[in-house]
Amino acid sequence: MANKFYTPDGFTDQLPGVCAFKRELEARLRNLFLMNGYDEIETPGIEYFDVYRSFVAEEELYKFTDGKGRLLCTRYDGTIPVARYAAGRNDTLPMRLSYIENMYRAGQIGGGKQSGFTQAGIELLGASGSKSDAEVLALAIKSALELGLTDLQVSVGQVQFFKGLSRQLGLSGETIAKVKAAISNRDSVTIEKLDLSREDKDTLLMITESGGTYDTIDQMLPRVTDEGAKAALGNIKEILDIMERYGYLKYVSVDLGLIESIDYYTGMVFKGYTYEVGFPVFGGGRYDDVSKTFGKDMAAVGFSISLTLAITALMRQDKFTPAAGATVIVGGDFERAIATAEALRAEGTAAVLDTTGMTEEELDAYAKARGIETIMYMNGGEA
Amino acid sequence: MLTIALSKGRLADQTLDLMEKAGYDVTAAREKSRKLILEDQAAGLRFILAKPSDVPTYVEYGAADIGVVGKDTLLEEGRQLYEVLDLGLGRCRMCVAGPASLKDKLDEIPNKRVGTKYPNITRNYFEGVKKESVEIIKLNGSVELAPLTGLAEVIVDIVESGRTLYENGLDVLETVADISARLVVNRVSMKMKADEIKPMISKLREALEEGES
């Protein structure tokens, strides 16, 4: 097989200009996370399959074995390895951790969806309540703004709301799955056909159409009797209050139909959208039960933002500025060229040193081809 | 500007009729040419004509904001989309069909071989609903040939009138799903372009209800 010329399906090289731009974005997020008290950690990138077994479909993981035949897999997301790490320690809680890593997802349908991509994220572990939820949501919005994604819309939902409402409406297992799928698909037709009272159908239809802020909650509250569902609405309301203090309320809308995402969420869930990319650029939520899998009971909330999608969006929104490489090339007399290049570098100017003995014309042509602005050709002998 | 992916063929024309009824100017899309993208700046609409099975892909990736496509394609492709309206166009059924002699005896055949253009729908039906393993033989057309030639015991395919089946001594054995064209929306567009998309959904819904009454 002549595969040696290609990258595997779903994986790409990061070319120089883009790579430098990406590193710059990473640096901005790293600093942001640090400023908010989140310590960066690095997980190995390879985990035992058992770590992910309960959370991710088998087809989605790249798997192989270690020397003893134990099943391993590549890092699928940031949250699960961090939860594994945090559960295995006895650190004083709450713990604030961040990561910027490559993720690997097998089984992505069709071409174009990346199997390898970079995510940055944070996890706030051992902290429950709306204030902690809001800190993570605010940091997600801050991250997107920091990257330059200013055309931003964020949907906030609460998985306990639908759970509570299902109890209130007396939905059974099979119907719950059907209603859940209908709400996820914004499929009003299926809801209309359900064997429920007019009022209950209207409540479900309101979920699929929710998209306001306080008004959405106020309209829903009188229809809700289940305590869990009420508490969920209260949680969202408190989060909105705190978003207002950050000045982020303009980005946020309530979407009670946001229930299609990963099963492990137990409370607030959110997704961030921007123009020119068909997928949410960030997502997150509360996942209080995940650490139980790792033998500890620890409330947790977190988010991740895809740098890969963010860069695509920035490029398509004409907000991409390829980071500049070296701006000066020094050639000619080698002894003097070294000295000059070193002097330039010492004062913070990135400089290329010609090591191939180009003539002045060759150096000129080379610089032009490489997009280097300034040429310094050193004459030999005494200055 | 909204980008709408239409399924090439009769469904595209029917969709345009419906949009017209809902008050949209679709003259740009009616233009008879070999152009694949038909744009009307004034109406704020851009139409792309795609192969039906590609429509969900364009919409999932956001290359199109909205698409119109048969439920059969949606079930087969399994994309992450909002499926907001049943347009009622191109109504038919996805069925398990086979020799008429197998009627009510389908469960008696062990290790069935199933010929189909829809391997995912077939797998989901037999494994998910009927809880049995089957051998799926992927075919690309004239699926009815499979049970006639002994390539497979039964087939899973779209049945409209059933004439092709009956004329070949075959019959519908079980119904897998009811099929019709659906309006699908990209999940990001639904948020970012809500001002354009939500009114379009209600206008289309109204046009549909008018048609029914």
Read off the pLDDT of each residue in A59-63 and give the average, rounded to a whole number. Answer: 94
pLDDT of A328 > 90? The answer is yes
Within this chain, domains B2-90+180-212 and B92-179 share the same CATH topology: yes
Mean pLDDT along residues A29-37:
98
Instruction: Indicate whether A102 and A129 sit together in one domain.
Output: yes
Least confident of A108-112, A355-359, A372-376, B163-167: A108-112
Quick one: pLDDT band at residue A262, thresholds 50, 70, 90? Answer: low
∠ CA A228-A234-A238, rounded to 5°: 145
Q: Does B61 touch chain A (CB under 8 A)?
A: yes
Task: Please count the structural domains in chain A.
Answer: 2
Residue A372 lies in a domain: yes
Collapse the DSSP code of A121 into the 3-class scheme (helix H, G, I; strand E, B; otherwise coil) and give the result: strand
Identify the pLDDT of residue A276.
86
Q: Which residues pair with A227 in a beta bridge?
A: none
Q: What is the pLDDT of residues A137-167, one digit of tens each?
A: 999 999 999 999 999 999 999 999 999 999 9
Q: Which of A186, A275, A280 sits opposite B84 (nearest CB)?
A: A186
Helices A159-169 and A227-246 pack at an angle, to 10 degrees, of 150
Mean pLDDT rounded to a whole number for chain A: 92
pLDDT of A185 strictly over 60: yes
Spatial separation of the C-alpha atoms in residues A98 and A140, rounded to whole Å: 12
Coil, helix or strand at residue A274: coil
Could you tell me which CATH number the domain at B92-179 has?
Answer: 3.40.190.10
Nearest residue to A283 via CA among A147, A122, A128, A126: A122
Please indicate whether residue A272 or residue A260 has the higher confidence score (pLDDT): A272
For A267, residues 6+ apart whose C-beta sits below 8 A from its C-beta are A133, A158, A159, A160, A232, A235, A285, A286, A288, A301
Per-residue pLDDT, A260: 67
Residue A256 has pLDDT above 90, yes or no: yes
Q: Are residues A69 and A95 in the same domain?
A: yes
**What is A189-218 written as a DSSP string?**
HHHHHSSS-HHHHHHHHHHHH---SHHHHH
Check whether residue A342 and residue A293 sit in a common domain.
Answer: no
Q: Which of A113, A155, A188 to mutate to test the interface with B (most CBs of B within 10 A)?
A: A188
Interface of chain A toward chain B, CB-CB under 8 angstroms: 109-110, 112-113, 151, 153, 155, 185-189, 211, 253, 260, 273-280
Task: Please name the member of B57, B82, B188 whose beta carbon is closest to the beta carbon of A279.
Answer: B188
**Lowest mean per-residue pLDDT among A49-53, A190-194, A217-221, A279-283:** A190-194
3-state secondary structure of B187: helix
Record the tokens describing residue B8, joined without a space.
Answer: 């090439």
Is position A354 within any domain? Answer: yes
Task: Verify that A334 and A308 share a domain, yes or no.
Answer: no
Q: At A192, is the pLDDT very low, low, confident or very high (cuts 50, 70, 90)? A: confident
pLDDT at A109: 59
Per-domain residue ranges of chain B: 2-90+180-212, 92-179
Is A17 inside any structural domain?
yes
Pair A37, A129 in one domain: yes
Q: How far is A351 from chain B (nearest CA, A)?
A: 42
Residues of chain B falling short of pLDDT 50:
none
Contact state of B63 with A278 under an 8 Å Cβ cutoff: yes
Q: Residue B32: what pLDDT? A: 75
- Shortest CA distance to A204 belongs to which of A171, A230, A240? A171
Is A58 a residue whose pLDDT tops 50? Answer: yes
Domain that holds residue A346: 328-378
pLDDT at A25: 95
Q: Residue A97: its pLDDT value, please?
A: 98
Which residue from A109, A211, A280 is facing B188, i.e. has the nearest CB? Answer: A280
Candidates A303, A307, A267; CA nearest to A284 is A303
pLDDT digits (tens, 9 = 90+) for A330-369: 999 999 999 999 999 999 999 999 999 999 999 999 999 9
State mean pLDDT over A7-22: 89
Per-residue confidence band for A298, with pLDDT thresholds at 50, 70 and 90: very high
Task: Please count the CA atoms within 13 angstroms of the CA of A286 that sit on its side-chain side.
Answer: 25
Cα separation, A266 vs A299, whole angstroms? 10
3-class secondary structure, B85: strand
Encode pLDDT of A205-226 as tens digits: 999 887 788 999 999 999 999 9
Same-domain check for residues A49 and A118: yes
ipTM: 0.77
**Residue A79 belongs to some domain of the structure:** yes
| Among B192, B196, B201, B205, the residue to mutate for chain A (most A Cβ within 10 A) | B192
Using pLDDT thresholds of 50, 70 and 90, give the confidence band for residue A383. Answer: very low
Is A223 or A181 the better-scoring residue by pLDDT? A223
B172 touches chain A (CB under 8 A): no
A267 part of a folded domain: no
Architecture of domain B2-90+180-212: 3-Layer(aba) Sandwich (3.40)
Judge whether A188 and B84 are in contact, CB under 8 Å: yes
Yes or no: say if B95 and B174 are a contact pair by the CB < 8 Å rule.
Answer: yes
pLDDT surpasses 50 at A281: yes
